[in-house]
A = this chain, B = another copy of it.
Amino acid sequence: MGPGPSNINARVARALSAPLIGHLDPYFLEVMDEVVQMLRLVFQTKNRLTIPISGTGSAGMEAAFVNFIEPGDKAIIGINGLFGQRMADICQRLGAKVIAVEADWGRIVEPGSLTRALKAHADARVLAVVHAETSTGAWQPLAELGEACARSETLFLVDAVTSLAGCLVKVDEWRIDICYSGTQKCLSVPPGLAPLTVSDKAVQVLAGRKSKVSSWYLDLGLIMKYWGKERVYHHTGPVSMIYALYEGLRLVLEEGLEERFARHRWVAELLEERLNSLGFVYYAQPGYRLPMLNAVKPPKNLDIHHTRKRLLSQYNVELGGGLGPLKDKIWRIGLMGESATKENVDYLAAALAEIMNG
C-alpha cells in the first residue's frame, strides 16, 4: 500500500515466468501488436504511436521531453510537487527555457495560471503538468488545458504515471498530445515499462526537428520502426515485462475501465472514512484528492516514523513516506490496481487502531 509498486495478480506473475522467445519472433510480434491495441483502449486514444518505453515511468518522462524539446525551446511546466520539479530538471538538461508555473505542494496548479502563461508564451513547445502528483496526492484538472493547447502550436504533455487505469485519462477527448505512465501503479504490473502515447500533432513536431534526438535509446523515430510494420531491430525488447504488461492490460479490460475507476473511488472513500475517525488529516487540496494516492498526516500522538516501520515489520503493510519538504510529515497510502481492496483498507485500519490503542 505504498506509492507503487502495487501488488500483482497471479496471472501477471505467471506471465512473467513464461519461457523467453526472441524479440523478433513472429509470436512475440503478435503479442506486441495486442499490447499496443490494449494500451490505446486504456489511454482512450486512437493514436498510432502508442507503445511501452523500455524503462520505468521516469524513462517515460524523459522520452516525452527528449523527443520534442530542442535547445532553446520554451517549456511551460506546472510545478506543485516532486514530479513537476523533475520535469523542469529534465527540460533544463535539454537546453530548454523553463517557464515554471508553481503552486504549493498539495495544491493543484490553477488552470488559469497555466493558460495565462500559454498566452504570454504562445511560442512554447510544450505545456506540461502532472495529472496525479504522487508526492502530494493532488489531482490536476486537464480538460481546459488541452483546449487551450489545441488552439495553439503548443503540445499538451501529461504525466499519467499514477493515474492511468485508476481514474479517467481521456487522451483524445482532452486533447493530450504526449501522455506517459508507469506499469507499477494502477496497471498492477511490475516496474520497468512506461506506456506512452503521442498525437499526430506531436509526431509532426518530431518529424520537423532540426537536430537529432539527443538520446538514441529513447529516440521515438527509431523505436517506431521496431513497433511499426517495418520491425527494424532497435534494442532488445524486454520480453518478460511485455508478457506481464500484456496480461495486466487484459485484466484491466476484463474488469472494465469504468468499473475499475469506481472501485478505486469507493475504496478510497472507505479509507478516508476510517482514517478520519482515527484522527488523520488529509494533506491534498479538498476536492482535488486522488483516490489511488492518499497523502495523510497521522494524529500527533502517533510517531510517524516508528509507526510506519512497525506497520511493515509487524503487520507486513508497506506505506510510503513523504518526499522532499514532506519528509517525516506525511504518509502516502497507495490504493492502486490489485492493491485497491476493501480487505487492505480494513486490515490497515485495524492495524492502526491496534497500535493507537496499544
Q: Which residues of A contact B (CB under 8 A)?
A: 2, 4-8, 13-14, 16-23, 25-26, 54-59, 61-62, 66, 86, 89-90, 92-94, 182, 184, 190-192, 212-217, 233-241, 244, 312, 318, 320, 323
Residue pair A56, B190 in contact (C-beta under 8 Å): no
Find the B residue at minimum CB distance from A87: B216
Residue pair B19, A16 in contact (C-beta under 8 Å): no
Residue pair B17, A215 in contact (C-beta under 8 Å): no
Instruction: From known contacts A5-B23, A16-B17, infer whether A59 and B217 are also in contact, taking CB-CB under 8 Å.
Output: yes
Find the B residue at minimum CB distance from A63: B217
Residue pair B191, A57 in contact (C-beta under 8 Å): no
- In the complex, which of the residues B5, B57, B90, B93 contacts A239, with contact meaning CB atoms closer than 8 Å? B5
Residues of B within 8 A of A235 (CB): 56-59
Instruction: From known contacts A213-B93, A241-B190, infer whether A21 and B236 are also in contact, taking CB-CB under 8 Å.
Output: no
Report the separation of the CA atoms of residues A108 and B312 in the bound assembly, to the nearest whole angstrom: 54
Q: Shortest beta-carbon distance, A45 to chain B, in Å?
A: 24
Residue pair A21, B191 in contact (C-beta under 8 Å): no
Residues of B within 8 A of A4 (CB): 236
Residue pair B241, A241 in contact (C-beta under 8 Å): yes
Residues of B within 8 A of A5 (CB): 20-23, 236, 239
Find the B residue at minimum CB distance from A339: B20
Residue pair B191, A23 in contact (C-beta under 8 Å): yes
Report the separation of the CA atoms of residues A255 and B327 in the bound assembly, to the nearest whole angstrom: 45
Find the B residue at minimum CB distance from A244: B240
Report the separation of the CA atoms of residues A93 and B10 in the bound assembly, to the nearest whole angstrom: 43
Q: With A58-B234, A93-B212, A190-B239 given, name 6 new contacts (CB 8 A).
A: A16-B240, A56-B237, A56-B238, A184-B236, A191-B239, A240-B241
Find the B residue at minimum CB distance from A309: B26
Report the separation of the CA atoms of residues A5 and B14 in the bound assembly, to the nearest whole angstrom: 19
Residues of B within 8 A of A26 (CB): 312
Instruction: From known contacts A192-B240, A235-B56, infer whether A214 and B93 are also in contact, taking CB-CB under 8 Å.
Output: yes
Find the B residue at minimum CB distance from A94: B214
Find the B residue at minimum CB distance from A18: B13
Residues of B within 8 A of A190 (CB): 20, 238-241
Residues of B within 8 A of A236 (CB): 4-5, 56-58, 182, 184, 191
Instruction: From known contacts A192-B241, A236-B4, A240-B192, infer whether A21 and B318 are also in contact, taking CB-CB under 8 Å.
Output: yes
Find the B residue at minimum CB distance from A12: B17
Report the separation of the CA atoms of residues A217 and B18 in the bound assembly, to the nearest whole angstrom: 29
Instruction: From known contacts A57-B235, A93-B215, infer whether A192 and B191 are also in contact, taking CB-CB under 8 Å.
Output: no
Report the separation of the CA atoms of residues A214 and B182 in the bound assembly, to the nearest whole angstrom: 22
Residues of B within 8 A of A184 (CB): 20, 236, 239
- In the complex, which of the residues B6, B17, B56, B216 contacts A90, with contact meaning CB atoms closer than 8 Å? B216
